[in-house]
Amino acid sequence: MHADTGGLAMCSPQWVRQRQGAAARIKLPGNASVSAVIIFGDSIVDTGNNNNNFKTLARSNFPPYGKDLKGGMPTGRYSNGKVPSDLIVEALGIKELLPAYLDPTLQPKDLLTGVVIAAGGAGYDPLTAQVAGVASLSDQLKQFKEYIKKVKAIAGEERTNFIISNSLFFVVAGSNDISNTYFLTGIRKLEYDVPSYTDLMIKYASEFVKDLYGLGARRIGVLNSPPIGCVPSQRTVAGGVLRECDEKQNQASQLFNSKLSAEADELNKNLPNSRVVYIDIYNPLLDLINNPTKYGFEVANKGCCGSGIIEVTKLCNQIQPAGTCSDDSKYVFWDSYHPTERAYKIIVQQILDKYTNFFF
């Protein structure tokens, strides 16, 4: 652990012991410390918040999801193993897995080092979560307020304020807005073109970051939208007979991303003592997709689960006849929408190497 000893003096030995459960792989600058990691957004980072939400199809708490996690148990992570939430806390030496806030087995002490509040299917646009039947970002903000109350009950106000101000926050959203709410269902096409829809997304993204700041968050990483037109399901739906990348969706992502980057700069200027860090995942994932062999992958246009071209969530299950591929480490994608743990590891390592110092 690379920790600020002055900060740790405010914390109980029990808390320190829990934080030492994993060996840190990322060196933090100077005296910097990270108390906890708290993540909002969608299925890229959700670790099980939809498990007991039977209004939605956006669940993954059944085999073969999680087959490469310790014990091979499905937990609600949308992959074969760990997802970026886990890989971030593991690299920081905080803990091995970042639990879902709504996990009924969550222990009070788990709250002190962070949770995932994200819900698979959510987006910046409130309509995205509404259509999916999941917690919107405003719902997630309410859950964060509950989280703060619970931490105060455990640790007291002063220590809670220290934990929140020294935590890393990540917001991962946007892909469902573009792929589902705009292009697939076409609901928003009736009133918005792509430029005005991405403006709407930015408005909600900016408000969410300001709301987090108002609740004490100071180090906030905002991930941009991936090349959503190149994920297997979107190739199938919109990529023609050859299943090429859908450039319309990719161009929408790129437009959103350029606006998000500019908005992050504005937020940094206007929110005192904040570090709002714009994080590019578009290009790292696109490089894996376009140059799979460079990273030791063999398949980048299909997922490992089933036929690999359409199966995701409920369609990726144990009874679908195609089963799963024999070696998911050769695949960039686990299902038709979400990368494999191995692909996530490569992307998360690149992100941490590039952006960690910007938070301090």
Q: Range with the lowest mean pLDDT among 11-25, 120-134, 179-193, 281-295? A: 11-25
Indicate the Cα dihedral angle 184, 186, 188, 191, nearest 10°. Answer: 150
Helices 282-290, 341-355: inter-axial angle, 10-degree rounding:
140
Across 311-347, b (16+ Cβ under 10 Å) vs e yields bbbeebeeeeeeebbeebebbbbbbbbbbbbbbbbbb
Clarify whether 326 is annotated catalytic.
Answer: no
Q: Where residue 29 falls among pLDDT bands split at 50, 70, 90?
A: confident
CB 328 within 8 A of CB 340: yes
Q: How far is CA 74 from CA 96, 160, 195, 261, 320, in A?
A: 16, 32, 39, 35, 17
What confidence tens digit (pLDDT) does each residue in 83-122 have? 999 999 999 999 999 999 999 999 999 999 999 999 999 9
Q: Is 62 exposed, middle or buried (0-12, 13-18, 19+ CB in 10 A)?
A: middle
At a CB cut-off of 8 Å and minimum separation 6, what does 346 contact?
A: 284, 288, 295
Q: Which residues pair with 331 in a beta bridge?
A: 299
Pairing outcome for strands 219-223 and 168-172: parallel
pLDDT at 228: 96
**What is the CATH code for 36-280+340-355?**
3.40.50
Marked catalytic residue, from 35, 43, 179, 206? 43
- CA–CA separation, 360 and 355 (whole Å): 10
CB 310 within 8 A of CB 233: yes
At a CB cut-off of 8 Å and minimum separation 6, what does 214 contact?
A: none
User: What pTM does this model have?
Assistant: 0.92
Question: Tokens representing 79?
Answer: 């992959």
Peptide bond into 64 cis (omega under 30): yes
Q: Which residues pair with 100 in a beta bridge?
A: 116
Overall average pLDDT of the 202-207 stretch: 98
Q: Where residue 26 falls among pLDDT bands split at 50, 70, 90?
A: confident
Distance of CA 84 to the CA centre of its chain: 6
Please count the CA atoms within 13 angstroms of the CA of 4 that sit on its side-chain side: 15
CB 332 within 8 A of CB 299: yes
pLDDT at 22: 61
- CA–CA separation, 185 and 108 (whole Å): 40
Q: Range with the lowest mean pLDDT among 41-45, 60-64, 134-138, 271-275? A: 60-64
- CA–CA separation, 50 and 33 (whole Å): 31
pLDDT at 313: 85
- CA–CA separation, 179 and 131 (whole Å): 13
Marked catalytic residue, from 46, 177, 328, 335? 335
CB 217 within 8 A of CB 147: no
Clarify whether 253 is annotated catalytic.
Answer: no
Q: Range with the lowest mean pLDDT among 21-35, 254-268, 291-305? A: 21-35
Overall average pLDDT of the 267-286 stretch: 97
SS3 content of the chain, % helix, strand, coil (to 5): 45, 10, 45
Q: 329 — phi, psi (to 5°)?
A: -70, -15
Q: Range with the lowest mean pLDDT among 9-18, 193-202, 324-333? A: 9-18
CB 257 within 8 A of CB 281: no
At a CB cut-off of 8 Å and minimum separation 6, what does 95 contact?
A: 18, 19, 21, 22, 89, 113
Clarify whether 2 is annotated catalytic.
Answer: no
pLDDT at 188 over 50: yes
